Structure 1
């Protein structure tokens, strides 16, 4: 099953493309402009995520143990490349440049989805990057910076 979260900018086009899929494929394709409170459920159900390499993927990917194909947004300076490389260098993701998507995306996804061992290895690498107590650590730093005074 494919869960496609597109945002609203091109939503009409996404709906048209979804409606044009053969009936057999439509049964496995779900498009949403946003998932908001259901995003955690989507991440828990995912075997693999294809996403831009924004900062949220550095936290969400590891928190859910998600193997990732990360496509840095080419107009976001270079921080998304740095984010994608961070996960890729640690075995949790694969960086795919935007200009290579047309040629490489399909074969890459098919290879990954057909290789449970590689997905499991990438998932374990992602989980190893998770810092479950990060909110408590950040709160403690803020308390310390405030001179130990808690609200």
Structure 2
């Protein structure tokens, strides 16, 4: 019975999150001016953070006002990540990954439809798994953690 209740709560949480729509894409952050409502700031992600640490350079982040801009930004992070030296990468793996990246670059425009290019943008959890859902002894959801 607890399992059914847990899944019902999870569905409720996800449906409530789906109702949140934003005019720009980015990361939801506390208002820097101290206001009670959160604001959408420049996109923050583990991938861009790891790239900054590995390349020892500051990434330039901006507000993303279109789906095309967001996808292009993510692709650039991927491209820059693969330009970094990799210690334990075989030649075959490097060739396969380079081919995949080149192929993605050639076809990426096909994945971005104009219908949703101007929003609305939704709140999404990129790593929703059991270990990121905090529950009590009766399997009631207390929190969802590890939001990028």
TM tier, smaller: under 0.3
TM-score by length of 2: 0.24
Of structures 1 and 2, the one with the larger relative CO (CA 8 A, separation 6+) is 2
Higher relative helix content: 1
TM-score by length of 1: 0.24
Q: Which has the larger radius of gyration?
A: 2
